Amino acid sequence: MQKPIIAGVGFTKISAHWKSSLKDLASEAALKALNDAGNPEIKAIVVGNMMSGIINGQENLGSLVAESIGLQGVPSVKVEAACASGAAAVMWACLSVLSGIFESVLVVGVEKMTDVTDNEDMSSALATAADYDYEVFFGATFPSLNAMIMRSYAEKYNLSPEDFGHLPILMHKNAVDVAHAQLRFPITMEGYLNSPVISDPLKLYDSAPIGDGAAALVITSRDGAGNLDHAVEIAGFGSATDTLATYRREDITSLMAAKLATKRALSMAALEPKDFDIVQIHDAFSVIGYLNLEALGIVEKGKAHKFIASGDADRSGALPVNPEGGLKARGHPVGATGVYQIAELALQLSDRAGPSQIENPNVGVAMNIGGTGANVIVHVLRRIE
């Protein structure tokens, strides 16, 4: 079976785009991706987004994006899977291409979060990724749910506050020279430890920032990709779900859906974790980043902090993690994040990642998490030789 091909990528800088609308961001990323792919004839569009109806007053994004780039008449829909909406859009585009019905599909992930300036309103919007009836109604917020996971993980594996600082410190280090990253400044362990507590033990520097951004991909069949020398293969993908409410899980320090999604993606790709050359994890919170690494089969449980601290996850390390800074420092425009991850992998595997380029990667994996692990999608990409 032929694999779907990423023929083009495009994205905006992640920032507070006060002068740009949701439509502006989506069209900018889409047009960049189309140009990168040689402007193929697009047969369908899939848009990933989580909160446009809540914070921007705009739904029907399929039509909005199609119109914004002059593709009225092309089938276009929005998909939503909380914070995994971007990867969900990529997965459904892959399925569309594999079906043979649509040869070339444009994927756009977009989120404009700074339209909401009240922290309570943003907290409410993000909390829609949790179980409203049994969590949010009783006062739980998205940070507080992740703080609960962090506290349980720290107690189970006897981790200190310093142990959680290694990941955000690396992410900020990686983002410094990345033009599209949101937080392009380094942080120290002292700065991490002294950052404000959001929900004990979760600190400000454990958390991804609020930002606006859009990323896009052109996904085609191998024939549809033409002779592009930068095309990259989507070798496998997998998706899985867990209970929406965090408290209903047997073990909140383990991402069951992430393990299942990884297993399915690797099975499709006929690869193993040892084949990874580069990893994109969903580090919306430090502890979730660690759980990603465990679910991907890269580290033993409770040992992720040692892996990061060792230098093996650095750009020049044995297995680079988030060379562009991840959600923590590159930024996390929620519905676009999964597309950013895959776009960055595609650039790495085609040696076009600029200052963040690692040495000769052949296989990359991206994990995108919805909620506190309720909806997880994993994609495995491979260089085309």
Domains (range + CATH), the chain:
5-117+210-220 (3.40.47.10), 129-208+234-383 (3.40.47.10)
Collapsing DSSP to helix, strand or coil, 43 comes out as: coil
Report the C-alpha gap between 290 and 192 in whole angstroms: 17
Nearest to 34 by CA among 106, 110, 94: 106
Asked if residues 145 and 135 have their Cβ atoms less than 8 Å apart, the reply is yes
Q: How far apart are CA 317 and CA 359, in angstroms?
A: 10
The angle at the Cα of 241, spanning 236 to 245, to the nearest 5 degrees, equals 155
- CB distance 31 to 42 below 8 Å: no
Q: Are 168 and 206 in contact (CB under 8 A)?
A: yes
Instruction: Give the gyration radius of the chain's Cα atoms.
Output: 19
Could you give the maximum distance between any two Cα atoms of the chain, in Å? 57
- Supply the pTM of this predicted model: 0.97
| Cα 300 from Cα 296, distance rounded (Å) | 10
| 3-class secondary-structure state, position 75 | coil
Residues 6+ apart with CB under 8 A from 57: none
Total number of residues shown for the chain: 385
> Can you give the pLDDT at residue 222?
83
Please indicate whether residue 94 is annotated as part of the active site.
Answer: no
Interatomic CA distance for residues 224 and 213, integer angstroms: 28
- What gap in Å lies between CA 180 and CA 157, rounded to an integer? 36
Per-residue burial over 239-265, b = 16 or more CB atoms within 10 Å of its CB, e = otherwise: bbbbbbbbeebeebbbbbbbbbbbebb
Are 34 and 236 within 8 A, CB to CB? no
- pLDDT at residue 177 in the model: 98
What parts of the chain have a pLDDT lower than 70?
none
- 346 and 200 in contact (C-beta within 8 Å)? no
**Other Cβ atoms within 10 Å of 133 Cβ, number:** 9
For the stretch 47-77, pLDDT in tens is: 999 999 999 999 999 999 999 999 999 999 9
* DSSP code at position 323: T
Q: What is the pLDDT of residue 385?
A: 79
**Considering 83, 94, 180, 305, which one is annotated as catalytic?**
83
DSSP sequence for 298-342: SS-TT-HHHHHHTTTTSTTSSS-B-TT-IIIII---GGGHHHHHH
Q: Which pLDDT score is estimated for 28?
A: 98
Whole-number pLDDT of residue 340 = 99
Point out the catalytic residue in the list 166, 172, 305, 332.
Answer: 332
Please tell me the distance from the alpha carbon of residue 59 to that of residue 65, in angstroms, as a whole number.
11
Say how far apart CA 334 and CA 50 lie, in whole Å: 7
pLDDT (tens digit, 9 = 90+) per residue, 249-281?
A: 999 999 999 999 999 999 999 999 999 999 999
Active site residue 332: yes
Paired strand residues for 369: 376
